[in-house]
């Protein structure tokens, strides 16, 4: 399955949900904002959101300071 | 005949009137001459639609004259557009206080300011507060400072800890929201809740004294403009300091201005 993540194309094998992708990337969801095909997702949607061929995913990871 | 603006008042002049003649007639002792947002010394022939500000340094302006003078260096048309805008600033630390000062100087019509905290000594190294404001709620202290800079910006301060439920009752009706929190989880939460409804300018990565040239502005999502180097986290041994935090804050303020003027940040 081919996805675009933060503007770069990735080939993924064996991953079905966004939650599985985030776990595989070892990303903390607390500091994360996710946009899938132009829609910002709620964290409680991550586990159940199925990824599909051609999806465009934007992951923004925040670091502290302000 | 041509129609120009002199100190924000409409004026009809004969075609071909030189700026020097307008100055001689209207304010012969003027030592500040601003022509279409640019301070000039040379003479020009005035054209229809020109904006001219004449001033004598040291004179105390009337309230009407003051507003024209405060925005005299703006490019014409910018003032009218920003004056009709409302901007919400969430978090009033090093980012939010500097964003608010920049936007008030720019003449943004209405600013909504939200922060739950009070001014304390460790804020002064980078935040736009003063020692005589220690212990005061930041939202109120900053509102007072902004009134001293530009009394024509309407400021609505709210002392409140922002959470998922109160973002929109508090910051409803804003054209742009500026995320200026310190805590990364709060930053992410604010973007998740606000970006589906309103353009958000957020910040990530500004600690330390690495080169400021790594700080950038980019559209990270459909409704999210992200500013920062995206990596430099505040941590022991890498603190937050006025220069880099100020660079990020001013990137944010410029992104807000560009959004208000219909430009891609």
Residue A33 forms beta bridges with which residues?
A60
Instruction: Tell me what pLDDT residue B257 has.
Output: 98
Sequence length of chain A is 66
Give Rg (Cα) of chain B.
21
Does residue B75 register a pLDDT over 90?
Answer: no
CB contact under 8 A, A40 and B91: no
Bridging pattern class, strands A56-61 and A2-5 = parallel
The CATH code belonging to domain B79-260 is: 3.40.50.720
CATH class for the region spanning B2-76: alpha beta
B245, A63: Cβ pair inside 8 Å? no
Q: How far is A8 from chain B (nearest CA, A)?
A: 13
| Annotated domain spans of chain B | 2-76, 79-260
Rg (CA), chain A: 12
ipTM over 0.90: yes
**For residue B120, what pLDDT band results from cuts at 50, 70 and 90?**
very high
> What is the pLDDT, as a whole number, of residue A13?
87
pLDDT, tens digit (0-9, with 9 covering 90-100), for A2-56: 999 999 999 988 878 999 999 999 988 999 999 999 999 999 999 999 999 999 9
Chain centroid offset of residue B218 CA:
19
Interface touch B185/A30, C-beta < 8 Å: yes
The predicted model gives B168-182 an average pLDDT of 97
Shortest Cα distance, chain B CAs vs residue A1, angstroms: 23
Q: B206 contacts in A (CB within 8 Å)?
A: 65-66
Least confident of A55-59, B9-13, B14-18, B76-80: B76-80
CATH class entry, domain A2-61:
alpha beta
């Amino acid at each position: 399955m081919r996805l675009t993540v933060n503007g770069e194309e990735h080939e993924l094998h064996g991953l079905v949900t966004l939650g599985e992708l985030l776990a595989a990337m070892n990303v903390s969801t607390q500091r994360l904002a996710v946009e899938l095909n132009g829609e910002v997702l709620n964290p409680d949607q991550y586990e159940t959101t199925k990824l599909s061929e051609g999806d465009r995913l934007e992951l923004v990871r925040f670091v502290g300071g302000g | 005949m041509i129609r120009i603006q002199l100190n924000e008042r409409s004026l009809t002049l004969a075609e071909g009137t030189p700026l020097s003649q307008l100055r001689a007639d209207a304010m012969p002792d003027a030592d500040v001459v601003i022509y279409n947002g640019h301070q000039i010394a040379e003479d020009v022939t005035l054209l229809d639609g020109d904006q001219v500000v004449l001033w004598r340094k040291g004179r105390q302006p009337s309230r009407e004259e003051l507003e024209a003078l405060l925005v005299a260096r703006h490019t014409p048309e910018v003032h009218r557009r920003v004056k009709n805008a409302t901007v919400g600033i969430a978090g009033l630390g090093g980012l939010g206080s500097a964003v608010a000062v920049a936007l008030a100087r720019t003449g943004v019509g209405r600013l909504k300011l939200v922060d739950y905290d009070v001014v304390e000594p460790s804020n002064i190294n980078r935040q736009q507060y003063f020692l005589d404001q220690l212990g005061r709620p930041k939202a109120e202290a900053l509102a007072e400072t902004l009134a001293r800079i530009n009394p024509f910006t309407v400021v609505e301060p709210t002392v409140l800890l922002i959470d998922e439920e109160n973002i929109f009752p508090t910051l409803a009706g804003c054209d742009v929201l500026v995320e200026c929190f310190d805590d990364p989880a709060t930053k992410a939460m604010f973007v998740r809740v606000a970006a589906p409804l309103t353009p958000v300018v957020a910040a990530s990565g500004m600690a330390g004294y690495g080169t400021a040239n790594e700080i950038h502005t980019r559209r990270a999502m459909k409704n999210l403009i992200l500013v920062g180097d995206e990596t430099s986290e505040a941590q022991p041994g890498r603190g937050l300091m006025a220069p880099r935090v100020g660079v990020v804050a001013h990137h944010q303020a410029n992104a807000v201005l560009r959004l208000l003027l219909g430009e891609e940040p």
